[in-house]
Structure 1
């Protein structure tokens, strides 16, 4: 993609070759609220909802560190019936949990509060979120919406556009929940391949930002194992141990057959030079990059 006369953070990041590894925000719960009107730049926080209900939802989500995202179908299609809400939870066993409802009045969103306190129902198909929050960052629209269109045409029941998920410079960003898997640097074509492989139980290192139940060095270790030994399912590898030392981390990964039973990965962190990392933020800042410097089967 080429652009002229305006700064686009995703173009700049790809030109620099910014690493996406280890950049998935940590978290294991998500609140989705279908909102068919315009999205404020700060998403749920900026909605003019009934204040009491909004405060209840925000406090309940904050208590379990759930991320609240506004969602909509691509092109605002499929608008039959009342808008929906969902509470999605990652489960390390793979029995991910979901609870869905509908709302018409602002006060109906208070149903989210008890849903956040309940375990939810196991099973359910994954939800594919595509960040298309253009008012937050232009690249989320320029790159996210074509990916959202392509994915929606292929899997109309699974795919939603969503508000900011983090990492504007890695647009187009796709998040599969409650699997808790972040992908980045996608376009319409690669997004189809990545999601098709994900749904088939084959997560590849290419385009993988990380697993949200892991911290950045652990995300980098798992990505390195996938890169070395090939794609695997979401729960085929687990972090068995993480030891911090002066130079970085020593991380032990265990695998299910046919994956290697044990892999030891050494990860080091470094800082990049200062750059403008978002379209809207003129200030420059440095990013942390996590490099896997050693991958050794046990």
Structure 2
């Protein structure tokens, strides 16, 4: 008797050709908490920490619409170093800041609440977050861990494994924070190439899920511009105008630099057929994707 193959959501999504552009969740503030033990299914919320501290951190995070993720170094226990926490913030106009601290006791995490109201330090290199949260989704571990290892060989000080960041079916997922750039459908080789280019301020559209400061239709429009005009820097284009008409959008994408054009992009939202979208999903569900129906130079 043949044993059925194990279902993997990332394999299924690749076979279906699920569109990747326009799938980055919103977020401009990141709270990172290094935790070297096992990660619960629900991440920070599932940790056995002081309930009052957890409540304070969660309340402050909700107020800022911040995403809380657990982090750890790939394959490194680092028993002689204190676990760290960080608040990373991306601001309008492209500036960003980081505030790092350390914790031995649960009460030390209260520093996160204070840091959310502090300016932070500017000029630090970005953090590379690789989702490897296997208890949340099998694909994140199977595809994420090789990517984390490969990236840590080149950028050991920048790379962290992390808990769920969304879009399990696009594993391996890499988030550059606080830049707010999501990449997906990566393997070890493509991840190294994508990060090399990103750190050289050349963003390619092939693995780009989107910028977290933009809406999904805007993300899809910008991705289409990069496909048409070629890779560009994180802030070389901006969204000048977005007009919605029911399930269609007209997005004006404008280049900031000399030689870059302005584009008018039309985007149409469509709902795909229902599928099992994650490894642990109990029933099929349908995702909305954003199809670019026209693009021309304004």
Shared fold by TM > 0.5?
Answer: yes
- Residues 1:45 and 2:45 are matched in the alignment: yes
1:258 deviates by 4.5
1:83 deviates by 0.6
1:193: which partner in 2?
193
1:19: which partner in 2?
19
CA distance in 2, matches of 1:47, 1:77: 18
CA distance in 2, matches of 1:93, 1:128: 21
8 A contact 1:89–1:98 mirrored in 2: yes
1:180 deviates by 0.1
CA distance in 2, matches of 1:210, 1:292: 14
2:95: which partner in 1?
95
Where 2:26 maps in the other structure, the secondary structure is: coil
TM-superposition CA deviations, 1:161-216 (whole Å, max 9, x none): 00000000000000000000000000000000001100000000000000000010
2:297: which partner in 1?
297
Q: Please list, as runs of the form range in 1=range in 2, the aligned pairs for 1:43-82 lying within 5 A after superposition.
A: 43-82=43-82
- Residues 1:161 and 2:167 are matched in the alignment: no
TM-superposition CA deviations, 1:208-263 (whole Å, max 9, x none): 00000001000001101111000111111111110011450001111122452411
Where 1:289 maps in the other structure, the secondary structure is: strand
CA distance in 1, matches of 2:60, 2:18: 35
Where 2:95 maps in the other structure, the secondary structure is: coil
Where 2:140 maps in the other structure, the secondary structure is: helix
TM-superposition CA deviations, 1:135-176 (whole Å, max 9, x none): 000000000000000001110000000000000000000000
TM-score by length of 1: 0.97
Gaps of 5+ in 2: none
With 126-135 and 88-97 compared, the bigger mean Cα shift is at: 88-97
CA distance in 2, matches of 1:152, 1:92: 30
Where 2:235 maps in the other structure, the secondary structure is: coil
CA distance in 2, matches of 1:274, 1:162: 28
Q: Please list, as runs of the form range in 1=range in 2, the aligned pairs for 1:216-227 lying within 5 A after superposition.
A: 216-227=216-227
With 256-265 and 122-131 compared, the bigger mean Cα shift is at: 256-265
1:133: which partner in 2?
133
1:93 deviates by 2.3
Q: Please list, as runs of the form range in 1=range in 2, the aligned pairs for 1:23-38 lying within 5 A after superposition.
A: 23-38=23-38
Where 1:232 maps in the other structure, the secondary structure is: coil
1:249: which partner in 2?
249
CA distance in 1, matches of 2:176, 2:35: 19
8 A contact 1:36–1:76 mirrored in 2: no
1:175: which partner in 2?
175
User: For residues 278 and 104 of structure 1, do their structure 2 counterparts lie closer, same or farther at Cα, with a shift above 3 Å needed?
Assistant: same
TM-score by length of 2: 0.97
2:264: which partner in 1?
264
User: For residues 165 and 44 of structure 1, do their structure 2 counterparts lie closer, same or farther at Cα, with a shift above 3 Å needed?
Assistant: same
Number of aligned positions between the proteins: 296
With 272-281 and 252-261 compared, the bigger mean Cα shift is at: 252-261
CA distance in 2, matches of 1:48, 1:270: 41
Gaps of 5+ in 1: none
User: For residues 246 and 152 of structure 1, do their structure 2 counterparts lie closer, same or farther at Cα, with a shift above 3 Å needed?
Assistant: same
Where 1:147 maps in the other structure, the secondary structure is: helix
**Aligned CA-pair RMSD:** 1.3
